Amino acid sequence: MGCVSIPFRRLPHQPKLFVRLIDDYSSVKKFYAHPPNMDAVRQVASSLDYPEERRREVASILREQNAAFGASAAAIGNLEKLERGAVAVVSGQQVGLFGGPAYAVYKALTAIRLAEELSGAGIPAVPIFWMATEDHDLDEVRHVTWFDSGKLLRFELPGDAVAGRPVGHVLLGPAIEESVKRAVGLLSGPSSEMLSQTLQQSYRPEETYGGAFGKLFAHLFAEQGLILLDPLDARLHRVAAPLYKRALQDRDELNEKLLQRGRELESAGYDVQVKVTARSTLLFTIRDGVRQPVAASNSHFKSGDTSWTREDALRLVDSSPEMFSANALFRPVVQDYLLPTAAYLGGPAEIAYFAQSSVIYEHVLGRMPVVLPRAGFTILDAKAEKLLQKYGLCIENLWAGPQELRRKMEFVSVPPALAENFDRDKAQTESTLADLGVQIETLDPTLAGAVATARNKIGFQLEKLRRKTGRALDQKSGLLAEHEQFLENLLYPNKSLQSRELCFLPFLARWGMDGLNELQKLSGSETLGEHRIVRIP
């Protein structure tokens, strides 16, 4: 296996703020508490003050959760380390069908690798994966795309009859049986049998999205001891109740700080990831199985059709904390109140959120973890590598869009003998035009611009003719379109990075479980700030 690295700044669709954080921390340190490097992680880990009573309570809850997912001996060992005082390296993602897009796996691998590095440096650390079961956008998790034999295949389960229900409570239902049967039939390679069994055991009609995801990840990362956390657990809400109360008590001050931070970001030329208005709060409610935002109006709070005074809302947190849930900006703060987090690993847009969340961290917790980019990979198989070489392409040609890709492929698809003639005739034409240009400019220097324009036009027309020749030849064979589709579907599916669109399981089946270990080795701190193109057998 080989790989090459590409800086994040050269990837498509990267938030400007994220790129600046990675490339030039000093220019954005106003928005982040720590530089994105392991020195900062070690400093935070060494000085982290986390209450022992809370540690024991959370560890006990996680022990029960992970046992239900089928925790391995390694995971149980890491839970014991957590209880004895280890810091946490945390990442998380929505509980997508069949694990969702590949980057959920890459997040887990990065957390595992960096926890290993910290432990190796004498700072006990464990990897924890926060499953976003409280999220209520079912449409984002009920489908997934597989790459199979050059084609994109979509798996999709029906929607939920109850709009706004947290996805962690939504049952997979009978339709999952056919999806699993279809998925198992497509898996091939050394790990296909193991993954087939895992899918069949994890994804059952009576299982929820959260439960199925937890069982899948517990099995995939059994050797590495990944700890899973389901935030829908009412016991965790009771632990987090002081934070919900703080969000209500200090709502006005927190909201003003967020509005000010939004103005600062926009003034610096960055996009605000989460819109904050004069009525915003940091909370949702979960009532009758539905998650709804809490809005503020004067001294009252409102969610759905129900309204409370501030005092009534605070009493409700005391009596029923499981009714409250954090919004996108508050969620990481709640996470790092529950966990002794030294580092959090996120994707580009997610990391941009922290520029807003940092004001909440400062006000509520008085501390913040180091925010680091997760490892990013694009997997390249033997056929794709051969096609890239055949057409003289690199992966960035795919990211440039279909027109640029087709232009390059048509250009090099001309038969070698004819291509040599094109090159020879183009060189002769350019030489003739250069000589002629010198003579014309000697007679009248004002014609220099016209000569240059003519040379450019003729060169453009020759290149255009060459592409048209390649296109005409392809219309007879159809290979160019077939190869183009294969490369786009694998390397830039639906005009997205592979890791954001394709499920990892088909790759893992072909590669074998050793593939996880290989990617884990490539997910360390030395690769922070880089996207890796990985060639697999």
Alpha-carbon distance of 470 to 396, in angstroms, equals: 22
How far CA 3 is from CA of 6, 361, 377, 401, 530, in Å, comes to 10, 38, 9, 23, 12
- Whether residue 93 sits in one domain with residue 11: yes
- Whether residue 434 sits in one domain with residue 304: no
- Whether residue 71 sits in one domain with residue 91: yes
Alpha-carbon distance of 416 to 466, in angstroms, equals: 12
Q: Is residue 397 in some structural domain?
A: no
Residue for token pair 């934070």? 243
> By residue range, what is the domain housing residue 295?
236-326
- Whether residue 214 sits in one domain with residue 111: yes
DSSP letter, residue 374: P
Q: Which of 239, 292, 274 is nearest to 51 (CA)?
A: 239
Q: Is residue 386 in some structural domain?
A: no
* pLDDT at 462 (0 to 100): 63
Structure tokens at 250: 């200090």
Phi, psi for 398 (deg, rounded to 5): -65, -45
Q: Is residue 391 in some structural domain?
A: no
Q: Are 254 and 237 in contact (CB under 8 A)?
A: no
Q: Is residue 394 in some structural domain?
A: no
- Whether residue 338 sits in one domain with residue 289: no
Alpha-carbon distance of 412 to 414, in angstroms, equals: 6
**If pLDDT is split at 50, 70 and 90, which confidence band does 163 have?**
confident
For residue 33, count other CB atoms closer than 10 A to its CB: 16
* pLDDT at 456 (0 to 100): 72
Q: What is the mean pLDDT of the chain?
A: 91
- Whether residue 310 sits in one domain with residue 248: yes
Q: Judge whether residue 427 has pLDDT over 90.
A: no
User: Exposed (0-12), middle (13-18) or buried (19+): which is 443, by Cβ within 10 Å?
Assistant: exposed
Average pLDDT over residues 260-280: 95
Q: Is residue 244 in some structural domain?
A: yes
Alpha-carbon distance of 220 to 213, in angstroms, equals: 10
Structure tokens at 128: 């924890």
- Whether residue 276 sits in one domain with residue 204: no
- Whether residue 142 sits in one domain with residue 76: yes
Phi, psi for 31 (deg, rounded to 5): -100, -10
- Whether residue 434 sits in one domain with residue 447: yes
Alpha-carbon distance of 336 to 321, in angstroms, equals: 18
Name the more confident of 134 and 417: 134
Q: Judge whether residue 282 has pLDDT over 60.
A: yes
Under 8 Å CB-to-CB from 110, ≥6 apart: which residues? 91, 345, 372, 374, 375, 523
Alpha-carbon distance of 442 to 421, in angstroms, equals: 32
- Whether residue 526 sits in one domain with residue 416: no
Please, which residues bridge with residue 292 across strands?
285
Q: Are 10 and 24 in contact (CB under 8 A)?
A: no
Q: Is residue 385 in some structural domain?
A: no
Q: Is residue 496 in some structural domain?
A: no
Alpha-carbon distance of 438 to 448, in angstroms, equals: 9
Name the more confident of 536 and 42: 42
Name the more confident of 473 and 132: 132
Spatial strand order of the sheet with 341-346 comes to 227-229, 125-131, 87-93, 341-346, 370-373
**Length of the chain counted residue by residue:** 537
Question: For 222-260, how does the pLDDT look when each residue is reduced to its tens digit (9 = 90+)?
Answer: 999 999 999 999 999 999 999 999 999 999 999 999 999
Residue for token pair 């925010």? 371
Residue for token pair 């060169």? 459
Comparing 100-114, 240-254, 259-273, 428-442, which segment has the lowest mean pLDDT? 428-442
Beta-strand relationship, 227-229 and 283-287 = unpaired
Can you give 309-354 as a three-state secondary structure string? EHHHHHHHHHHCHHHEEECCCCHHHHHHHHCCEEEEEECHHHHHHH
Q: Which of 89, 132, 108, 90 is nearest to 499 (CA)?
A: 108
* pLDDT at 406 (0 to 100): 77
Number of domains the chain is built from: 3
- Whether residue 368 sits in one domain with residue 310: no
Q: Is residue 171 in some structural domain?
A: yes
Alpha-carbon distance of 272 to 159, in angstroms, equals: 30
Question: For 108-158, how does the pLDDT look when each residue is reduced to its tens digit (9 = 90+)?
Answer: 999 999 999 999 999 999 999 999 999 999 999 999 999 999 999 999 999
pTM of the model: 0.89
Residue for token pair 């961290």? 361
Alpha-carbon distance of 125 to 82, in angstroms, equals: 8
- Whether residue 286 sits in one domain with residue 167: no
Q: Judge whether residue 208 has pLDDT over 80.
A: yes
Alpha-carbon distance of 26 to 46, in angstroms, equals: 23
Domain closes at, from 282, 311, 326:
326
Alpha-carbon distance of 88 to 45, in angstroms, equals: 9
Alpha-carbon distance of 323 to 245, in angstroms, equals: 12
DSSP letter, residue 503: B
Which ranges of 168-309 does DSSP label H, i.e. alpha helix?
175-186, 192-202, 209-220, 234-249, 251-267
Phi, psi for 227 (deg, rounded to 5): -95, 130
* pLDDT at 160 (0 to 100): 84
Q: Are 118 and 139 in contact (CB under 8 A)?
A: no
Domain closes at, from 311, 326, 341:
326
| Torsion from C-alpha of 220, 18, 134, 86, nearest 10 degrees | 60
Residue for token pair 């490339």? 23
Q: Which of 285, 229, 222, 263 is nearest to 63 (CA)?
A: 229
Please, which residues bridge with residue 533 across strands?
4, 378
Average pLDDT over residues 161-165: 87
